[in-house]
Amino acid sequence: MHSGFDINKIQGDGYLVIPLSMARLATGQSPEETYKVFHYFSKKLAVYTNDVILLYTSGLYFNDKDITYEKRVKINEQMINHSLALRKLIQKRKEFIPGAFHFLPIDYIILNCKDFRLFFNKLKKLIKEDNKFKRCVQKDMGKREYNEANENFILEEVAVAHIIRERLVEFPRTLVKNDIWRLIAYPGTYMESDNYQWKNKILLQTDTINPYRASQYDFKKKKLFVFSDL
């Protein structure tokens, strides 16, 4: 498995994990666009005992110190409306088993993994001591202002992605039996800070089963990026 190429076949049963950015729910990750991801990956499955995790990243946005009641209501409405529209598409088109799709907030990972606080604190400590890592976090922020709220946004995202890949949190199961693989797919590139922490073994690396434990799939480019090859 080499970086920068598409996946031919996914062996065994597992989870396709789709992080949903609140800023993209009406555009690049609209219900229609998200449904295309299901359809694309269904052709790559060697067996049909797999589930999909729709991971809404709404909780990350509450790092904003200027969050208001109105903003919170708006974010919740976006998330609810998106999930309802996606459920309707799945039911209407009858291509997939509705129960195999699980709609979860990112707080599910934070609450159900005992290692989240440890991981977040390690990253928080690292950013104070390692300027290379800090530059990676700054790059991941894009055009956003560099402040503690946005810093925490990125660090939480890195910790959650690592927890998922290392299989340190249990997901709901409908078709999955063995949980062999977990693939994170997003219409965009991987995080530089995630790549950096992996290569430098900052966070615990214990999983020996998941073939995608050190990678992320860029659905926009239709390529898998493997951290060890970057």
Q: Give the model confidence (pLDDT) of 119-161 as tens digits.
A: 999 999 999 999 999 999 999 999 888 999 899 999 999 999 9
Provide CB contacts within 8 A for 202, sequence distance 6+: 122, 123, 126, 196
Arithmetic mean of pLDDT, 28-50: 96
User: Tens of pLDDT along 182-195?
Assistant: 999 999 999 999 99
- Model pTM score: 0.94
Fold of domain 14-225: Rossmann fold (3.40.50)
State yes or no: pLDDT of 77 exceeds 80.
Answer: yes
Q: How far apart are CA 15 and CA 215, in angstroms?
A: 14
In the chain, the largest separation of any two C-alpha atoms, in whole Å, equals 52
Residue found under tokens 């998106």: 82
Domain ranges of the chain: 14-225
For the chain, what is the mean pLDDT? 94
**pLDDT for residue 159:** 98
Arithmetic mean of pLDDT, 18-32: 93
Strand pairing category for 223-226 and 215-218: antiparallel
State yes or no: pLDDT of 176 exceeds 90.
Answer: yes
Query: Which one, of 149, 140, 135, lies nearest residue 190 by Cα?
Result: 140
Question: From residue 94, how far is each of 22, 91, 100 by CA, in Å?
Answer: 27, 6, 13
